[in-house]
A = this chain, B = another copy of it.
């Protein structure tokens, strides 16, 4: 048995690889088999993370495993889907037992937290990279897609913005900051929490949704384009964490929120009649702007005046996507 076959057996024995609901056949055959409840559709998303591009080449493998799966699961959240399963294609330059064990532990923690079962994959030798494909289920016709935003809808997000980009200087050891601030921001970078329950709560309410990975303005641009509308983002309404403010100050924090990416917070458009109900039910829904007829995205102040947008304020590992 080759060392890579050993790795497959190792992952096959991981807690998250034990057959869960909807998994008719897991690791070990030519294909995995999933069963869908009647009337549901399967949501699928694939993401590749390359060492030195999407994450530092030298990093904690536990955190990498956690983050990689969180980033992918966030796409399921953005569709309002219920996570079911994932596959892992792992390319490694060499086999290091310690590294693999820590990576698998991180993956496993996030898999169990999201309700995702490992059903297959591939392990190959080569420069370090991972491709994760995640599967979720969603009632037919109820997925949150990008193309339904309507003029008059509110533009909302599910939590503070900019933390991911703000944390990058800490991830790269380029900045020092007091321990509690660093702890919060590093956790936001390394173990973002996919907003799965929020996504499900938005089914039948939000008219368009996505998760913020490219940066708020860029991602709002995706909704605007797909829906054929114009999105207005009010700068003073951007939710910013006190930790990011402490690290960066207001202006840089706003810049991180607008262009930084890596937040994995949901952004969505919502007819106004749903706002109070969601907020009263305890969902973290924060209004940051509105939808109008037109095209593109504008940043405005409290008086509705356009604010010039500074872009590319941050250096990303995620340079391409």
Contact = CB atoms under 8 A, between A and B. Distances in A.
Interface of A: 2, 4, 24-25, 28-36, 38, 41-54, 75-76, 78-79, 81, 85, 87-89, 91, 119-127, 129, 131, 133, 135-136, 138, 140, 143, 145-147, 209-211, 226, 319-321
B30 A140 contact: no
A44 B91 contact: no
21 contacts: A2-B320, A24-B140, A31-B81, A33-B42, A33-B44, A35-B41, A44-B85, A44-B120, A44-B133, A45-B120, A46-B87, A46-B131, A48-B124, A49-B124, A50-B124, A53-B125, A54-B124, A87-B133, A122-B321, A124-B320, A129-B129
Nearest to A76: B31
Given A33-B41, A42-B42, A50-B126, 19 more contacts: A24-B41, A29-B146, A30-B45, A30-B78, A31-B44, A32-B43, A33-B79, A33-B138, A35-B41, A44-B85, A45-B120, A46-B122, A47-B89, A48-B91, A48-B122, A89-B89, A122-B321, A124-B320, A125-B320
A20 to B, nearest CB: 15
B122 A131 contact: yes
Contacts of A89: 46-48, 89, 131
Contacts of A211: 30
A79 B25 CA distance: 11
Contact of A50 (B38, B75, B91): B91
A224 to B, nearest CB: 14
Given A89-B48, A133-B133, A321 B124 contact: yes
A99 to B, nearest CB: 17
Nearest to A199: B30
Contacts of A140: 24, 35
A301 to B, nearest CB: 28
A129 to B, nearest CB: 6
Nearest to A209: B30
B31 A78 contact: yes
A198 to B, nearest CB: 14
A78 B50 CA distance: 31
A76 B135 CA distance: 18
Contacts of A50: 91, 124-127
Contacts of A87: 44, 46, 133
Nearest to A33: B41
